[in-house]
Structure 1
């Protein structure tokens, strides 16, 4: 049991090294500490709930936003490419900001940025302002996404697996809830897409509050800073030449291609169903079904992957589900809509598999951190053109045939590099050759 917990701990890509001591001893149970720990858990859950609604709520109302702002298909494709671009650019800044200001303060600022971006973007009155406000919200998501696991590691070093599971479940629930309820809530609010999008600023604002309390708690802040100094003092391993590893490159490309599929799905799948004659509310529910598949499978897939010496069979199974789902979208998008949503939801669970393989393909904590940084930054850069290209193809072909063919075509190299990334070897051994 202890071994499986250690494996799960190392599967998360944003943990930068060995476990740090919590800001107070585990055995301490003073009222002040108990209150602080509850506040940290609340902050983690509320933050995770707000890491995707800015994206999936827009996907559910993309047609109304396009009509309201006069967007072309190409510009809408650019809009769906903004999330991975922001994750690649701003996520790199998060560790440096955390070292200077502390992870809690940066996450607090990130939640505030999400709130501000979601309030402003529906009312900017133009495409440029809408894109800029979206980028502000996504910047907050990017830095928070990177630092949340660091906070889990700091405060719950003996419960990383269970707290990461709670965090992952909250993230998936927030993702699916935004897809499911944005259209019905928009109708309740009078049919204004601006109100439907701005609504998601409310939970984001709620997520700011526990972090404000934690940042103002000087005892917790100073203890956390001491833990960080201990961590940096222990981290003296030399840097790997990660680009020498074929496995690192395979994993980076696999991460990028699965992210491409995920952001195309979040940005365009509801529109594909709506163009096939599915009602807007039902299309949002279908997207929610696809997203919510990540809740149970995020627990099942990593455990299965760690029991296999090679993860290629899981990669192929997920890829087969994706190909079947895309075939269904091509030939009978409305007739089998629920089945295609389920299949694509399973296929999109390549994300937790990628995180698991990051932990399995390196021997040390420092190696995991380097591999994670390389795979994620390179992967998000790879994923940027995909949603934009889908928008261009949709606009110029006048239908979804070519975009769906592109999505299915990208699944083939994803399966190939996933099999290579899943081989039983480590980046340290490859980089040393």
Structure 2
């Protein structure tokens, strides 16, 4: 049993490693891509926004696929799919081809991500918070190493950005054999899962949670996309803006790593939603109203966003009564959440073009922080048990 659990844990980590490099590896070599393929900045930005939109849309179908073919088999197939498409970037000869690979990678991520929530619910039901911490941290690490190593890989691999992008298919090559072993040791495709494969579209709590996840995702991608530009507008150099952006990403790691321990000490989801949202709002306020070094703001933004994103992964698992239900709740929240998140950076850019400054957009993001906090309080609101005449916490948000 111990070996089986270790296998499932390592498989989860390697699957999570595959969920970001196909998107994040593009930005370090974007200049070379635009020069060689003749892409405008607007069309090049689609290499990030298209995967996010496709991620959200395809998440809607994850539960149906898992219901028909078994969750572990579906995860394995689409990890391999992500790897094959990533490797195919070595043959890129046009901007359209590269955009198609971005679309397919986003589709694969959209299927795998919610099913991993169901996988955690199925095989680690008593350790969901810890597994979500490991899952979130693995995604952050995968994103970080792809951002940091793609440019050196480009130089090492015949000075080709195509080779640098294609290199990340190696993560799938490592993960797929473990997932083939997982399939042999897993028996989770039950009749009860089949009955619960539909999305909770008529569930009010699911829509409240989806709204919460959507706004958290929007805030995260807004400052993730525009933080360096905001720093530059404040009078710092573009190089320093890049450093601040990297620090914000690294600052996510403590929150994702420590969240399980924090929840064991203080298990209230409402408390941590409040603390992490205030951390994000503090970072935005420092950028908006003070001249304090942006490094402090980036740390607040990173810690807050890392904690909130981890909670958006955990809350659907808390709600679900079965692995399939966890997958469908995760699919619904992530589908709409990432669609909203994909348009967030565009909205901020549009407002900046109209208003000529990022300061009003920071006001908007701070206001969104208040809305996120209110939604967080709403979905963690205690329910009154009329039969017993006492106040009891909803199991979803204990």
CA distance in structure 2 between the partners assigned to 1:136 and 1:199 by the alignment: 17
CA distance in structure 2 between the partners assigned to 1:68 and 1:135 by the alignment: 20
| Cα gap change, 1:248 to 1:60, in 2 (>3 Å) | same
Q: What does residue 70 of structure 2 align with? A: 102
Report how far residue 133 of structure 1 moved.
Answer: 0.4
Residue in structure 1 matching 2:255, options 297, 300, 305: 297
Report how far residue 380 of structure 1 moved.
Answer: 2.3
CA distance in structure 1 between the partners assigned to 2:293 and 2:32 by the alignment: 25
Q: What does residue 7 of structure 1 align with? A: none
Q: TM-score scaled by structure 2? A: 0.78
Residue in structure 2 matching 1:194, options 150, 162, 169: 162
| Cα gap change, 1:65 to 1:233, in 2 (>3 Å) | closer
CA distance in structure 2 between the partners assigned to 1:409 and 1:154 by the alignment: 40
> What is the SS of the residue equivalent to 1:306?
coil
Counting only pairs closer than 5 Å after superposition, residues 137-286 of structure 1 correspond to structure 2 as 137-189=105-157, 191-215=159-183, 217=184, 220=185, 224=187, 227-229=188-190, 231-232=192-193, 241-242=202-203, 245=204, 249-267=207-225, 269=227, 277-279=237-239, 286=244
Residue 385 (structure 1) aligned with residue 343 (structure 2): yes
CA RMSD of aligned residues (A): 3.9
CA distance in structure 2 between the partners assigned to 1:79 and 1:59 by the alignment: 9
Structure 1 contact 180–284 (Cα < 8 Å) conserved? no
Report how far residue 203 of structure 1 moved.
Answer: 1.9
CA distance in structure 2 between the partners assigned to 1:237 and 1:375 by the alignment: 13
| Cα gap change, 1:62 to 1:339, in 2 (>3 Å) | farther
Residue 344 (structure 1) aligned with residue 301 (structure 2): yes
CA distance in structure 1 between the partners assigned to 2:91 and 2:145 by the alignment: 23
Report how far residue 401 of structure 1 moved.
Answer: 5.6
| Cα gap change, 1:197 to 1:262, in 2 (>3 Å) | farther
Residue in structure 2 matching 1:93, options 61, 73, 94: 61
Residue in structure 2 matching 1:420, options 375, 378, 386: 375
Report how far residue 346 of structure 1 moved.
Answer: 2.3
Q: What does residue 274 of structure 2 align with? A: 313
> What is the SS of the residue equivalent to 1:375?
helix
| Cα gap change, 1:420 to 1:167, in 2 (>3 Å) | closer
> What is the SS of the residue equivalent to 1:96?
helix
CA distance in structure 2 between the partners assigned to 1:257 and 1:128 by the alignment: 31
CA distance in structure 1 between the partners assigned to 2:197 and 2:33 by the alignment: 50
Number of residue-to-residue matches in the alignment: 377
Residue 60 (structure 1) aligned with residue 28 (structure 2): yes
| Cα gap change, 1:319 to 1:165, in 2 (>3 Å) | closer
Q: What does residue 17 of structure 2 align with? A: 49
> What is the SS of the residue equivalent to 1:199?
helix
| Uncovered stretches (5+) of structure 1, i.e. residues with no partner | 1-25
| Cα gap change, 1:190 to 1:266, in 2 (>3 Å) | farther
Q: What does residue 82 of structure 2 align with? A: 114
Q: What does residue 390 of structure 2 align with? A: none
Report how far residue 72 of structure 1 moved.
Answer: 2.1
| Uncovered stretches (5+) of structure 2, i.e. residues with no partner | 386-398
| Cα gap change, 1:377 to 1:141, in 2 (>3 Å) | closer
1:175-231 Cα shifts (integer Å, max 9, x gaps) = 22222222333344454322322221222322222223444x3xx35xx1xx33164
Structure 1 contact 257–410 (Cα < 8 Å) conserved? no
CA distance in structure 2 between the partners assigned to 1:374 and 1:47 by the alignment: 20
Structure 1 contact 56–267 (Cα < 8 Å) conserved? no
Structure 1 contact 240–428 (Cα < 8 Å) conserved? no
> What is the SS of the residue equivalent to 2:189?
helix
Q: What does residue 391 of structure 2 align with? A: none
Structure 1 contact 86–142 (Cα < 8 Å) conserved? yes
CA distance in structure 2 between the partners assigned to 1:343 and 1:102 by the alignment: 40
1:292-326 Cα shifts (integer Å, max 9, x gaps) = 32222125456357336556632541332341464
Q: Which has the higher contact order (CA 8 A, sep 6+)?
A: 1
CA distance in structure 2 between the partners assigned to 1:90 and 1:371 by the alignment: 14
Structure 1 contact 168–298 (Cα < 8 Å) conserved? yes
Q: TM-score scaled by structure 1? A: 0.72
CA distance in structure 2 between the partners assigned to 1:119 and 1:268 by the alignment: 29
Structure 1 contact 258–351 (Cα < 8 Å) conserved? yes
